[in-house]
Amino acid sequence: MKRAFVPVLAASLVLAANALAIPGMGERPEPPSNEANLPPELAGVGFDQKLGAQVPLDLVFREETGAEVALGAYFGQRPVLLILSYYECPMLCTLVLNGVTSGLKAVPFAPGEDFEIVTVSFDPREKPDLAARKKANYVELLGRPGAAAGWHFLTGDEPAIAALTGAVGFRYRYDAASNQYAHAAGIMVLTPQGQISRYLFGIEYAPKDIRLALVEASAGKIGSFVDQVLLFCFHYDPETGKYGAAVVNGIRAGGVLTLAALALFAFASWRRERRARAGVPVAPAPTRLS
């Protein structure tokens, strides 16, 4: 039994080990340009993903109170959810802000304690009084105690706006005929040091995506063991800006379980043979009742 068991175990271990490192799987090509098939009036509008890029933290904006503040005041301790929006946008910016608020309601982290939310208007004509009204509306809509201290609505001058939007790859265009801005829909999650960690696209943001993006940006400083397990099971897709099931990690986890099961079986077989050689009676396998 022992001789027959060794080659079977060895072959099984090889197969399981191979499952832990499958070359090529899980790799994705660079995401295609998001300008494909856009109408002419939206040419030049979109996101250039700059994952890992540093945002200039010395840029000066104005808080909703009117006080001037350096962007770096919101960094250093916690990850930052960055929203670029203009407050008089008739549709898309409102949908983005509504989507963020809806998603955050199901996220257990608290703004101001676990992370910061920084909303910056990219319309240099907008002023702090408008930002204050917008903030009051969304803090009430979120309904979280202390949210006012963790959600900031900023306005600024054109040079600071251009520097920030350029740093994060946010491309937009002003249309004088409609007096509106053409822009894409999405938000960004930055590390406490101000580096771009994740882009989340669209107007609806799944709580899972926001939660995992914040945990990743914090380098595990927020979140629980469950969040770490979820990060193992879900993989960020830069093309969609969402988290999907990580097939390779699932295979690896299966390989680990297979190795553990084989090791347990080998140990049990070794103990059984040792007891038999020592003359210790071996309990028969239980009979299954039909």
pLDDT of residue 223: 58
Rounded to whole angstroms, the Cα distance separating 10 from 262 reads 10
pLDDT of residue 214: 95
Rounded to whole angstroms, the Cα distance separating 60 from 214 reads 25
User: Are 248 and 115 a contacting pair, CB within 8 Å?
Assistant: no
Report the side by side order of strands in the sheet with 80-84. Answer: 151-154, 116-120, 80-84, 186-190, 196-201
pLDDT of residue 88: 95
Rounded to whole angstroms, the Cα distance separating 208 from 234 reads 10
Rounded to whole angstroms, the Cα distance separating 169 from 50 reads 6
Phi and psi torsions of 46, nearest 5°: 155, -160
pLDDT of residue 239: 75
pLDDT of residue 38: 56
pLDDT of residue 249: 42
Rounded to whole angstroms, the Cα distance separating 284 from 287 reads 9
Longest Cα–Cα distance of the chain, Å, equals: 96
Q: Exposed/middle/buried for 240, CB within 10 Å: 0-12, 13-18, 19+?
A: middle
Rounded to whole angstroms, the Cα distance separating 245 from 113 reads 29
Task: List, in order of start, the domains of the chain with CATH numbers.
Answer: 42-205 (3.40.30.10)
Helix, strand, coil percentages (3-state) for the chain, rounded to 5, are 40, 20, 40
Query: What is the reported pTM?
Result: 0.69
Chain centroid offset of residue 117 CA: 15
pLDDT of residue 157: 98
Rounded to whole angstroms, the Cα distance separating 97 from 52 reads 24
pLDDT of residue 180: 92
Task: State which residues of the chain have pLDDT below 70.
Answer: 1-43, 221-236, 241, 243, 245-271, 276, 278-290
